[in-house]
């Protein structure tokens, strides 16, 4: 396939970045479902499953003041390599039966360090006019990995959990090898005071700077709501499938997650084609549609229509989140640096994830039906994005 001169794929270093991201995200998603199967086999209660994600999220929150500086202090390709190595240690810990929660927290530490580097490197490799397209490629790579990784994790876990964990370790090792292929870039901010107290102060100064910027605040709220909703939907599907469809395996929830991934690939492509940084607000109605579709989906009792609804959730979701990510990177690079901007974004996103997961766990612990939980979750998300849309329209008036 012949690429245009304007294609981000023509930029040196982009291809190994996308390859490393694919392997890393593939292993992340396969590992989640393999570890959930491990908990299921060990007869952990249903409400404990989100705790697995909570320990992962807590790593993002606790390390938020430091990982942005870490990403800006060194070449981002090397930071990605170190982060994937930590993830590899985490899956080894799970495979050795040390503790699924401890091992998954190590994976969370690696992911927290990885995220500012993987998105920040786009801002360093690509000009502003290619950032939306670059983000579209990054999201497409990520979602393709989620698609294949989720399904592979479920199928392998149904066959043999230890084999699933071994495959995850191999894929993380491939991600490390891909990271080595990324050209060594100059560090964004090699000099500075890196005392922990100073880093915390600088991080909260970056938080203040970005949250006071109306454009950044708009992007932060939108992406935080979206990814908080996404991770909650993933766990909801695990308990929804047996209740609504009467299916008890590990493969069906992962396949349904894959339908969302397929949709997000399409939505990311459409956003890259139709939405510019100057008109990122056009994506907000798509976010409202996500909530409405999730509420409708929760009432479904047949598998094929459920597949279709989740593909639509993904399409609208990808169209919603890609322009907001690009908007934050562009503004963040102008203000506090891309690494710090993504770290602030991670704090917001993971704070919302943690809050949503706690509410979800409490609902399941109290015995609320998965169907009722799904409907309420979709309606609340749609209302939240509606409020954000009206706020954006008022701000633009």
Beta-carbon neighbour count of residue 208 at 10 Å? 12
C-alpha 32/C-alpha 55 separation (Å) is 12
The DSSP-derived string for 211-280 is HHSHHHHHHHHHHHHHHHHHHHHHHHHHHHIIIII----SHHHHHHHHHHHHHHHHHHHHHHHH--GGGG
Answer yes or no: are the C-beta atoms of 131 and 326 closer than 8 Å: yes
pLDDT in the model for residue 292 = 93
- Quote the pLDDT of residue 323: 81
Its sign, for the CA torsion 155, 160, 165, 170, is negative
Q: Which two tokens stand for residue 163?
A: 């084999």
Question: What contacts 86, CB < 8 A, 6 or more positions away?
Answer: 106, 107, 109, 110, 113
What does the pLDDT read at residue 83?
93
- Residue 32's CB is within 10 A of a number of other CB atoms, namely 27
Quote the Cα angle for 133-136-137, to 5°.
90
SS3 labels along 273-331: HHCCHHHHHHHHHHHHHHHHHHHHHHCCCCHHHHHHHHHHHHHHHHHHHHHHHHHHHHH
What pLDDT was estimated at residue 278? 60
Q: Which domains does the chain have, with CATH numbers?
A: 8-183+196-396 (1.20.1250.20)
Q: Would you state the pLDDT for residue 1? A: 43
List the chain pLDDT tens, one digit each, 397 residues. Answer: 445 556 666 666 788 888 899 999 999 989 988 998 888 887 777 777 788 888 888 888 888 788 777 777 778 888 899 999 999 999 999 989 888 899 999 999 999 888 778 877 877 777 767 777 777 788 778 878 877 888 888 889 888 888 999 999 999 999 999 888 887 776 666 666 667 788 788 788 888 888 887 777 878 888 888 888 888 888 888 888 888 888 888 788 888 888 887 888 788 888 877 776 566 667 788 889 999 999 999 999 998 999 999 999 999 998 888 888 777 777 776 777 766 777 787 788 888 888 888 888 888 888 888 889 889 989 999 998 888 888 777 766 5
What integer pLDDT is reported at residue 194 of this predicted model? 63
Output the six-digit token pair for 48: 């404990």
Structure tokens at 6: 């304007």
Q: Which pLDDT score, from 0 to 100, does residue 175 have?
A: 93
């Amino acid at each position: 396939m012949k690429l245009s001169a304007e294609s981000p794929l023509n930029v040196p270093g982009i291809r190994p970045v996308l390859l490393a991201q694919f392997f890393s995200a593939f292993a992340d998603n396969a590992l989640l479902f393999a570890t959930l199967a491990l908990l299921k086999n060990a007869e952990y209660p249903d409400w404990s499953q989100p705790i697995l994600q909570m320990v992962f999220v807590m790593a993002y929150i606790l390390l938020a003041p430091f990982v942005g500086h870490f990403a800006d202090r060194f070449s981002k390709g090397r930071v990605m390599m170190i982060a994937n190595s930590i993830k590899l240690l985490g899956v080894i810990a799970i495979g050795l039966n040390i503790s699924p929660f401890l091992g998954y927290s190590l994976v969370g530490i690696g992911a927290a360090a990885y995220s500012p580097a993987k998105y920040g490197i786009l801002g360093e490799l690509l000009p502003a006019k290619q950032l939306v397209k670059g983000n579209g490629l990054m999201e497409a790579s990520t979602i393709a990995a989620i698609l294949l990784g989720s399904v592979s994790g479920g199928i392998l876990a149904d066959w043999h959990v230890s084999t699933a964990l071994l495959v995850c370790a191999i894929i993380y090792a491939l991600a490390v090898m891909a990271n080595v292929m990324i050209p060594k870039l100059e560090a964004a901010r090699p000099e500075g005071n890196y005392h922990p107290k100073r880093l915390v102060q600088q991080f909260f100064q970056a938080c203040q700077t970005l949250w006071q910027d109306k454009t950044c605040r708009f992007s932060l709220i939108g992406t935080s709501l979206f990814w908080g909703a996404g991770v909650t939907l993933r766990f909801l599907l695990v308990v929804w499938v047996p209740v609504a469809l009467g299916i008890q395996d590990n493969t069906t929830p992962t396949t349904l997650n894959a339908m969302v991934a397929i949709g997000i690939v399409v939505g990311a492509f459409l956003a890259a084609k139709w939405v510019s940084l100057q008109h990122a607000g056009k994506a907000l109605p798509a976010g409202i549609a996500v909530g409405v579709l999730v509420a409708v989906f929760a009432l479904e009792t047949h598998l094929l229509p459920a597949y279709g609804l989740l593909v639509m959730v993904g399409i609208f979701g990808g169209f919603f989140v890609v322009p907001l990510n690009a908007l934050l990177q562009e503004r963040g690079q102008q203000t506090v640096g891309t690494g710090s901007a993504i770290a602030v974004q991670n704090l917001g996103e993971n704070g919302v994830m943690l809050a949503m997961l706690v509410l979800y766990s409490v609902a399941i612990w109290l015995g609320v039906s998965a169907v009722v939980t799904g409907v309420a979750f979709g309606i609340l998300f749609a209302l939240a994005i509606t409020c954000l849309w009206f706020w954006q329209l008022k701000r633009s008036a």
